[in-house]
Structure 1
Amino acid sequence: MSPLNSLSLKIAQSQNGVQEIPKNSNAGPAVESYLKSVGLGKGYAWCMAFVYWSVKEAAKQLNTTSPLVKTAGVLRQWNEVNPKLKVTKNPIVGDIFIMDYGKGQGHTGFVVEVLSNGNLKTIEGNTNDEGSREGYEVCYRTRKPSQIKGYIRIQ
């Protein structure tokens, strides 16, 4: 795993438990920081902004630049992926997973662990314990690979 990838995952995990204030508002100090990193104000879905913010913060600490597209759009990130990044169907720790619900809606987060049964432990923003793509917090989830469109790997 690259230093940027490793630190991005560590930063994302440091946000575990962050919640919207008030719940279900797409707002609150941390959420608004994630959204601001992609040029948006409060009120927007923020799972991709959370991933972008995590990578941007890691890049800043490592004195480099983020290879991600500056967007809150999950599918835009997937469709316009930087050629310096690897797109794969075989996940490893630190990969950014992409889910496609159709009609332009998606969800994303980081792979924390590939479990022995093949499922994935993830850390995600804008989710909840029920697994919503429009939740209210940063938390760990378990995802089935069949739910995932693909993975973006920071090299």
Structure 2
Amino acid sequence: MKKNWYQKELVIKDTQRRNGDHNNRKDTRKIQSWLTLYSIQNPHSGTATDVDGDFGPATEKAVKNFQKEKGLFENGIVTQETFDVLCANLKDAFDKPLTATNLRDLVIEAAENHLRNHPYELIIDGQSNSGPWVRSYMDGNDGSPWYWCMGFVQAIIDQAASALDKNFRNLMPQTYSCDTVGTTGLNKGILTRYTALRNDSSLIKPGDIFLIQRSSFDWTHTGIITSVNNGVIETIEGNTNIAGSRNGVAVLKRTRNFLKSKIDVFSIEPLV
């Protein structure tokens, strides 16, 4: 894979504990981030804590609560082995072997596997679009300016293409910009405008990429198309929410009416 930053999110440099001699703020923030992410899916767990880099009594208790949840020894200490359990969802999303045999099915399989692992952003130091999932999609970048919907899409396309020993950058440049991908699609003749799609839905295929158009050369949001039926596309998209925002908080599966929305479609066919 070309987008391999996620591997850095799976390790800590040393064991972290309250008042530990080898504590460092970066590793403690990673731990606190995963504790808080766990609490989003398990609100009863008592693992939500500040992401401030200080391994104090609150973080120690949150670790113990996590260890209790997972049937681990409740000592409040995070070794690499404990951290492996904390970040297991991220590892599964990126490292689980894909089983499909063609690119379109691989794209959908990879997207669905990420969805099952609950990618979610955090607010850290007052900055949205933060945390290990965002950094994994955005090659180490995070914070409020880093809208991550295209980072998510390219991570999925990269993962699927890599399973076939293909380079996704032969399809599009590595970027975080919907505009860059949209313009690339126009230049290559593989972006279909919404006006054509409304007349012929057969132009849309599962595994393709949708781009929401604000104007002819300005696109504001993107995601993976998983199915097409009766004027509706089902999608898996990052940095969205239940309202379909382009700056939401999670990876979600959505339905979108392409007959009423300005949705252009970028075809992955040249890489198939």
TM bucket normalised to smaller:
0.7 to 0.9
Compare relative contact order (CA 8 Å, sep 6+) and give the higher one, 1 or 2.
Answer: 1
Post-superposition offset of 1:65:
0.5
Q: Distance in 1 between matches of 2:175 and 2:214?
A: 18
Secondary structure of the residue that 2:157 maps to in structure 1? helix
CA RMSD of superposed structures (Å): 2.3
After TM superposition, give the deviation of residue 106 of structure 1 in Å.
Answer: 0.8
Aligned to 2:119: 18
The percentage of aligned residue pairs carrying the same residue is 32
**Residue in 1 aligned with 2:182?**
78
Q: Which amino acid aligns with 1:25?
A: S
Q: Distance in 1 between matches of 2:257 and 2:245?
A: 14
Matched, 1:35 2:138: yes
TM-score, normalised via structure 1 length: 0.85
Map 1:90-129 → 2, pairs under 5 A: 90-102=203-215, 104=218, 106-116=220-230, 118-129=231-242
Deviations 1:63-100 (A, max 9, x none): 110022211111210102373x7323332221100102
- Secondary structure of the 2:129 match is coil
CA contact (8 A) 1:75 1:100 kept: no
Comparing 131-140 with 52-61, greater Cα deviation is found at: 52-61
Cα distance between partner residues in 1 of 2:206 and 2:218: 26
Determine which structure has more spread, i.e. the larger CA radius of gyration.
2
How many equivalent pairs are there?
Answer: 149
Question: Could you say which residue in structure 1 is the equivalent of 2:104?
Answer: 5
**TM-fit CA distance, 1:104:** 4.3
* 1:111, distance to aligned residue in structure 2 (A): 1.2
Residue aligned with 1:147, SS: coil
Higher deviation after alignment, 98-107 or 62-71 = 98-107
Q: Which digits, 9 at most, give the CA deviation of each residue in 1:21-48, with x for residues without a partner?
A: 2497212212211100xxx611200101
Q: 4+ runs of 1 displaced by more than 6 Å?
A: none
The structure with more helix, counted as a fraction of residues: 2
Shift of 1:105: 5.0
Q: Please, which runs of 5 or more residues in structure 1 have no aligned partner?
A: none
Greater share of residues in strand: 1
TM-score (norm 2): 0.50
Would you say the 8 A contact 1:5–1:55 is kept in 2? no
Counterpart CA distance in 1 for 2:247 and 2:130 is: 12
